[in-house]
Amino acid sequence: MKIQSFGAAKTVTGSCHIVNENGVKVMVDCGFFQGNKDEENKNSELGFNPAEIDYLILTHAHLDHCGRIPMLIKGGFKGKIYCTKPTFQLARLIMLDTAKIMLEDYKHDLKKRLRYNPEKKSASHSATSLSSANFTTSRSSSSSPSSVLLYNELDVFESLDHFNPVLTYNTPFILDEKHNIKVEIKDAGHILGSSFVKLMFGGSSIIFSGDLGNKNKPIVNNFSYPDEADAVYIETTYGDRLHKSFDDSKTELFNIIATTFKNGGNVLIPSFAMERTQDILYILKGFYKNGQLPKCKIFLDSPLAINITDIFLKNPEYFRKDELQLFQKDNPFEIPYLTETREVEESKEINKFTDSAIIIAGSGMLTGGRMLHHLKHNLWRKENSIIFIGYQARGTLGRRIVEGDKTIKVFGEHIDVNASVHTINGFSSHADQNELIEWLSALKNQQKTKICLVHGDEDKMNIFKEKITPLGFNAYIPSYAEEIEI
Ligand SMILES: [Zn+2]
């Protein structure tokens, strides 16, 4: 068995692994590179020939695991894509949203080029491109916009025809009868429908962890455990650290809300649309049911997050058992104070509320989205609070605010940061160092298993490697496209 990683190798995003067993190629995930421009630029090349891939298994619907699928299809992939039902439904939304954002960015850049083009002779060509929407996928000349349109909505719809969302937890599935290839998925406890994957090729086997969840979260189950395999590819996003407990983080959230309302202010929560937003709604509902939550307005100001919440409600069988029992009596995300705002006009109305409002909107790292408008209206007032509940990558506006910038620029306007800034890190969707070790420790015959560390920053991977090597694990950190033979 030979394995190559075309993403998430010594980096956190772009998950994409190909297993080659006697000429049959099974891919696990085909995700986007995210973060700074250098990382995003890696998306324009897949690094392999998609026509040679026979099967794709998708572990879960986060963009860094599914975002390059339409490029795979455009490149000639003819096979089926296997995953759980919610993973298919959520990946569909994520890929369509990505195609929409790419088109908006591209048009925006193109318009900027029309207003100021260093090469005037190319201006008419650019104007034609904008009106016909016939976009290229590469930067063909210096007159092209800096954004790249990797795929459009039609490409996404074509990709959806390849999905076969038939995988269910703990049920082996025959992927290829002729070559005796089976796949078994188990619950990764990361987001709704997430899984880790075991591929079985006759006598040999390999496990890919996908992303593993932080334990004791609301909504989804804790992760299941692996049994045995010749190799395990494990994510190491937080291989270097421990999280605060979920309960401590809940208390922290409640205290910030109560204090802010007492001071006559609003609470802003920049949030990732998938899982984190639903977790926050669920927690707020808990505060409401306990009679703790002061009377207020809660705005979910993100069409994507609203659509994703609807998909959660359609898949209660993927909820934790105890949550499922509660769900059967009550919608876990429905709070009488909650208003969902899909339309732009409704979103603008939120500006009228100057106190006792909780505004949840994207993007989670303030790289775009409706939250930028709310920053403009709220960040300069000292009565208000902004709460970061997710990782803030280097170079993002979110990171600058967390690091204490006193003035920021939004839509060309300078805004003072007078609101109080909070970071709560216990709501992570990823397992921490102890949980990753606990998951690995369930392996039988662990001395015989090759452990490959992926999906992490290299410095964090090295810390994790140093931590698990004395425990008897045979750990290795693969490079991009490096061929690992098991
Ligand atoms: Zn993930």
| Domain residue ranges in the chain | 2-240+430-485, 246-423
Mean pLDDT across 253-261? 97
pLDDT in tens, 275-292: 999 999 999 999 999 999
Which pLDDT belongs to residue 284?
A: 95
Mean pLDDT across 433-446? 96
What separation in Å is there between the alpha carbon of 66 and the centre of ligand 1?
A: 10
What separation in Å is there between the alpha carbon of 83 and the centre of ligand 1?
A: 14
The residue to which tokens 């860094």 are assigned: 64
Which pLDDT belongs to residue 309?
A: 96
235 near 211, Cβ under 8 Å?
Answer: yes
Q: What is the distance between the alpha carbons of residues 300 and 298, in angstroms, rounded to a whole number? A: 7
Residue 311, number of CB atoms within 10 A of its CB? 20
Two tokens at 179?
């070559």
Q: What is the distance between the alpha carbons of residues 202 and 225, in angstroms, rounded to a whole number? A: 22
Two tokens at 14?
């772009």
Mean pLDDT of the chain: 91
Give domain 246-423's CATH number out of 3.40.50.10890, 3.40.630.10, 3.40.50.1820, 3.40.228.10.
3.40.50.10890
pLDDT in tens, 5-41: 999 999 989 999 999 999 999 999 999 998 777 888 8
Mean pLDDT across 404-417? 95
What separation in Å is there between the alpha carbon of 211 and the centre of ligand 1?
A: 5
Query: Residues of the chain with pLDDT > 90: what percent?
Result: 77
pLDDT band at 395, cuts 50/70/90?
confident
What separation in Å is there between the alpha carbon of 272 and the centre of ligand 1?
A: 11
Lowest mean pLDDT among 134-138, 246-250, 386-390, 429-433: 134-138
What separation in Å is there between the alpha carbon of 46 and the centre of ligand 1?
A: 20
Mean pLDDT across 356-371? 93
What separation in Å is there between the alpha carbon of 458 and the centre of ligand 1?
A: 18
What separation in Å is there between the alpha carbon of 446 and the centre of ligand 1?
A: 25
What separation in Å is there between the alpha carbon of 410 and the centre of ligand 1?
A: 29
Two tokens at 142?
């210096």
pTM of the model: 0.90
What separation in Å is there between the alpha carbon of 59 and the centre of ligand 1?
A: 9
**Minimal CA–CA distance to 302: which of 349, 359, 366, 357?**
359
Q: What is the distance between the alpha carbons of residues 366 and 372, in angstroms, rounded to a whole number? A: 7
Q: What is the distance between the alpha carbons of residues 190 and 29, in angstroms, rounded to a whole number? A: 15
Distances (CA, A) of 191 to 9, 242, 429, 473: 22, 19, 7, 27
What separation in Å is there between the alpha carbon of 424 and the centre of ligand 1?
A: 19
CATH topology of domain 2-240+430-485: Metallo-beta-lactamase; Chain A (3.60.15)
Which pLDDT belongs to residue 134?
A: 37
What separation in Å is there between the alpha carbon of 28 and the centre of ligand 1?
A: 13
Residue 440, number of CB atoms within 10 A of its CB? 22
Lowest mean pLDDT among 13-17, 99-103, 320-324: 320-324
Lowest mean pLDDT among 16-20, 34-38, 194-198, 362-366: 34-38
Two tokens at 310?
């609807």
175 near 184, Cβ under 8 Å?
Answer: no
Angle among Cα 272, 430, 437 to the nearest 5 degrees reads 175
Q: Is the pLDDT reported for residue 123 higher than 50?
A: no
What separation in Å is there between the alpha carbon of 72 and the centre of ligand 1?
A: 20
Which pLDDT belongs to residue 463?
A: 98
Lowest mean pLDDT among 198-202, 228-232, 389-393: 389-393
